[in-house]
Structure 1
Amino acid sequence: MRDIDELRELGDFDMGAPPLDDGTRQRVRARLYAAMDEPAPRVRHRRPALRIALTAGLAAAVAAGVLVGVRDDDGDRAHRTARPPATGAPAMRNVSAQTVLKGAAVYAREHEQTVRPRDDQFIYTREVIRETDQKTGATRTYTDENWRSVDGSRRSWAMEIGKGWWAPPLQKGVRVWPPRDWGTLRKLPTDPERLILSVQSRFGSRATSLDGLTDEDWSQIHLGLAALLKLVPVLPQGLRPAAYEALGMVPGVKVVPDQKDAKGRTGVAVAYDDPTLPQGVAGFGGYLIFDPVTYAFLGFRDVRTSGDGAAVKTYTQLSSLDSWAVVDKVKQRP
């Protein structure tokens, strides 16, 4: 029953768009489940935003219009705080999503440094979440702190909009996307085209080139890249820039100007029009917000709903990584 409750919790999230009808929901769920190359295990604990989504759970999440908590990092050093945006930014320029994402990749490469955490360590992140009730305008700010086991063998502590819980160790032999352990993350390609093919192979057949990829393939590739960027706060050197460049190669990514992040900074966002979903229905991924001058990553903008029927509430959710570090123990702060 707990597994069912988890999926119901995920169903409380959406992207602020009309929900999928039952027929479309079943078709999307069936397509994503059919694409998985192996069954996912049962999940017995509430899924945290920090824990990496299991493939089947992620498929169900997308079919339900799910939106989950997000994090990002430009890998500058073992312990760092987020860089402030450029000050005195000029008016927003009319740029393409490819320009923004290539600029973000350049910025990330220039500012990241190698991180080599030990398997017995934890990656600590502190994230600022600001939610605004779309009906009343009431705003609440949360500070979420997470400690993720580097190799996945130890239980982790996760938080989501102010609520925390213990996440169990990753079961041996279980494949998940995005990978939870540093060793597997380190093996992912840092060439954007090879990364796309690697992601595609996790969700469908193993393609040898980008030629001939269908809309469904690209939808799954975007799903995989978005999950990697949203659900893994710290990545091995070169992987986040590659993911930005790979995202820029997905047909349908677009620029949305004048977006505010959790700290009130105005940026330019990149979103995705998924051709496999009905018009007006948004899929997994949300808005990635970048500084309009430097293209430094600022945070995510999403929409979350809770409740049912007349009691349903819709929130605009902004999130920004405040700091991160590699620590020796869970609950240890840098």
Structure 2
Amino acid sequence: MRDIEELRELREYDAGTPPLDDATRGRVRARLLSTINAGNGPAPAVRHRRPVLRVALTGAVAVAVVGGVLVTGQRDDSGDGKTAAPPTASSPVMQNLSVRIVLNGAATYARRHEQAASLAASPRDDQFIYTKEIIREIDEKTGATKTYTDEDWRSVDNSKPSWIMEIGKGWWSQPPQKNETVWPPQDWGTLKKLPTDPRKLILELAHRRPSGKDDSLSGISDATWSLVQFKLAGLLKLVPVMPEGLRPAAYEALGMIPGVKAVPNQKDAKGRTGVAVTYDDPTLPDGARSFGGYFIFDPKTYAFLGFRDARAVVRNKHRVELTQLSYLDSWAVVDKAKQRP
């Protein structure tokens, strides 16, 4: 219990520096999961936005920032974690038809509406992906609401500094160092190499090779499923334009992960009622949230409406719980940072 309380206190700590953006949280979490799966070898360094949260991943100890919480885990050297049940016809994930219907419907909608955008964009490596996101934060106790406009310019090939904003605050994110990797990729060449078959996409993100004609997903551990969910959520949340077929495959693959579920009657940032998809991650400690929060879809067309997430802050020595509702207002491919379309 004391460890959980300490984690909560750390999440609420404000160093007076820009908060971690989703991509950075995701990269740290990815390194945590990669360390868990990699064995006893040394782990590459991890880059962070906040200097006060520089974290080393060495030996059997792994540290990650997940949903605003600094999580420390001691790896079990006996293996990489419990093996999750594969999504077979008799498993709970297959019996929960609603989430498969929602995500397969979202895939169908994406195929019908994103082909033209995918073909028209094809950003060059030296360009930037501009996104404009609207975020509404609601105090769960008082109902008070604040609205933020976040504008990001992400370097396509990560060779140039990117401008990142989170809840109204912005900062320059420097290119990764040689021993660092960034997820999700923005460059067209890397994205085009990802499979557009959902099973093969899962195997690719899990760093596995197909085991037979059926591309079996059996034997994937909880930790690896968690890594796959993080990568899929990162793609869907942070990459506004993809090569044809990749977004539908990502939706379908997300629906095949054990622990992904549908939640009806969820309001989006514009007040529309939709059906949400979220992930119960068995590898996280109590109180920690999986990356991506809730993806909200129109219950009839399955068009994507936006995200729902939560965070906590300390105001006047009191803990304040906030609900975040957000949506992508616009995106474009531009030639330099801070250039608006």
Shared fold per TM-score greater than 0.5? yes
User: Which letter does structure 2 place at the counterpart of 1:102?
Assistant: N
Cα distance 1:151–1:288, how it changes in 2: closer, same or farther (>3 A)? same
* Residue in structure 1 matching 2:253, options 246, 262, 280: 246
Shift of 1:65: 4.9
3-state SS of the aligned residue for 1:61?
Answer: strand
Distance 2:160 2:67 in 1: 31
1:191 equivalent in structure 2: 197
2:164–2:170 CA contact under 8 A, matched in 1 = yes
Distance 1:183 1:109 in 2: 20
2:262 equivalent in structure 1: 255
1:79 equivalent in structure 2: none
* Count of residue correspondences: 277
Cα distance 1:153–1:32, how it changes in 2: closer, same or farther (>3 A)? closer
Unaligned runs of 5+ in 1: 1-6, 14-27, 48-53, 67-93
1:33–1:59 CA contact under 8 A, matched in 2 = no
User: Which letter does structure 2 place at the counterpart of 1:105?
Assistant: A
* Residue in structure 2 matching 1:272, options 276, 279, 297: 279
Shift of 1:61: 2.1
3-state SS of the aligned residue for 2:184?
Answer: coil
1:296 equivalent in structure 2: 303
Shift of 1:221: 1.9
**Higher alpha-carbon deviation: 272-281 or 107-116:** 272-281
Cα distance 1:312–1:8, how it changes in 2: closer, same or farther (>3 A)? closer
User: Which letter does structure 2 place at the counterpart of 1:33?
Assistant: T
If asked which structure has higher relative contact order (CA below 8 Å, sep 6+), I would say: 1
* Alignment TM-score, normalising by the size of structure 1: 0.73
2:130–2:332 CA contact under 8 A, matched in 1 = yes
Shift of 1:177: 2.6
Shift of 1:304: 0.8
* CA deviation map 1:6-26 (0-9, x unaligned): x9999349xxxxxxxxxxxxx
Cα distance 1:55–1:225, how it changes in 2: closer, same or farther (>3 A)? farther
For the aligned residue pairs, the C-alpha RMSD in angstroms reads 3.4
Distance 1:315 1:141 in 2: 12
2:66–2:288 CA contact under 8 A, matched in 1 = no
1:142 equivalent in structure 2: 148
User: Which letter does structure 1 place at the counterpart of 2:108?
Assistant: V
Distance 1:55 1:123 in 2: 30
1:128–1:319 CA contact under 8 A, matched in 2 = yes
1:152 aligns with 2:158: yes
Shift of 1:140: 0.4
2:66 equivalent in structure 1: 62
Distance 2:318 2:171 in 1: 26
Distance 1:134 1:207 in 2: 46
Shift of 1:316: 0.1
Identity of aligned residues (%): 62
Q: Please give the residue correspondences for 1:1-334 in structure 2 after superposition, counting only pairs within 5 Å.
A: 11-12=11-12, 33-35=35-37, 39-43=43-47, 45-46=49-50, 60-62=64-66, 65=69, 96-112=98-114, 113=116, 114=119, 115-172=121-178, 174-201=180-207, 208=211, 209-277=216-284, 282-307=289-314, 310-334=317-341
Larger radius of gyration: 2
Distance 2:234 2:219 in 1: 23
Shift of 1:232: 2.8
